[in-house]
Amino acid sequence: MRNREATGARAHELLATSGDALRVKLCGMSRDEDIVAVNDAGPDLCGFVINFPRSPRSVSPESLGQLVGELDETILAVGVFVDQPTAFVAQVAHDLVDVVQLHGSERNSYIARLRTLTDAPIIQAFRVRTKRDVERANASGADLVLLDSGWGTGERFDWALAGGIRRPFMLAGGLTADNVAGAIRSLSPWGVDMSSGIETDGRKDPQKIKAATQAARGALR
């Protein structure tokens, strides 16, 4: 059984730090074999899409409990939510995950309400299409922001827009083992988040998971 007190403390510490270290998040895990591959690769964070039927990667809270139970304690569990009630998000954070990631249309007022219910660190994702989206990210009340192209489309946004970000950010969207190192060296993100780029035919691919993690880790060496 995971030591939730220890992983929760590490989550706060991880999201509060910046500097030269590069953090790696792998997202969209839904099967036992995905967790085996993640444990072998050793990222910093592992994401689970919760109760979002539009995503083929979605898992129920019941399935999430089993998957998180198999996750190595050195890897933080991130719950990814899309416009879910704050009470539900807080309950899942209390019971199962170390970090909350908001991937819908949540506003700062939503984040403020959520903070009254849970002390879990909060990541907020933004779909970047214009400079205005980056400004919204700058103004977010979350602990960390994530700049993305959309919902696991495998496409990248115009990375030139990331030049307007004035706070630590996680980069997502179209990242693979082939391009993640270059993205890190060009944009200097706090971390990177990969999902579709570590899949083959819609399923997580253990070889791609390991290769992408190693490529990200090696980018700053």
pLDDT > 90? residue 24: yes
Set 20, 27, 44, 158: catalytic member:
27
**Tell me, what's the pLDDT at 21?**
85
Comparing 17-26, 51-60, 206-215, the range with the smallest average pLDDT is 17-26
pLDDT > 90? residue 28: yes
**Residues 200-208, mean pLDDT to the nearest whole number:** 96
Set 34, 44, 98, 148: catalytic member:
148
pLDDT > 70? residue 133: yes
pLDDT grade, residue 2 (50/70/90)? confident
pLDDT > 90? residue 9: yes
**Tell me, what's the pLDDT at 153?**
62
- Secondary structure class of 125 (helix, strand, coil): strand
CATH code for position 133 = 3.20.20.70
Residue 176 backbone dihedrals phi, psi, to 5 degrees: -135, 175
Residue with the bigger pLDDT between 18 and 2: it is 2
**Tell me, what's the pLDDT at 19?**
64
**Residues 25-53, mean pLDDT to the nearest whole number:** 97
Mean pLDDT of all residues belonging to the chain: 94
Name every residue whose Cβ is closer than 8 Å to that of residue 164 and which is 6 or more positions away in sequence. Answer: 131, 134, 135, 138
In a domain, 59, yes or no: yes
> Does the annotation count 148 as an active-site position?
yes
Residue 125 backbone dihedrals phi, psi, to 5 degrees: -95, 145
Domain count, the chain: 1
In a domain, 219, yes or no: no
Comparing 44-48, 146-150, 173-177, the range with the smallest average pLDDT is 146-150
Domain span holding position 15: 4-214
Cα–Cα distance for residue pair 154/73, rounded to 1 Å: 29
pLDDT > 90? residue 220: no
**Tell me, what's the pLDDT at 146?**
97
User: What does pTM read for this prediction?
Assistant: 0.96
User: Helix 32-41 vs helix 61-70: angle between axes, to the nearest 10 degrees?
Assistant: 40
> Does the annotation count 27 as an active-site position?
yes
In a domain, 220, yes or no: no
**Tell me, what's the pLDDT at 66?**
96
pLDDT grade, residue 149 (50/70/90)? confident
In a domain, 221, yes or no: no
In a domain, 13, yes or no: yes
In a domain, 31, yes or no: yes
**Residues 156-174, mean pLDDT to the nearest whole number:** 94
In a domain, 185, yes or no: yes
In a domain, 43, yes or no: yes
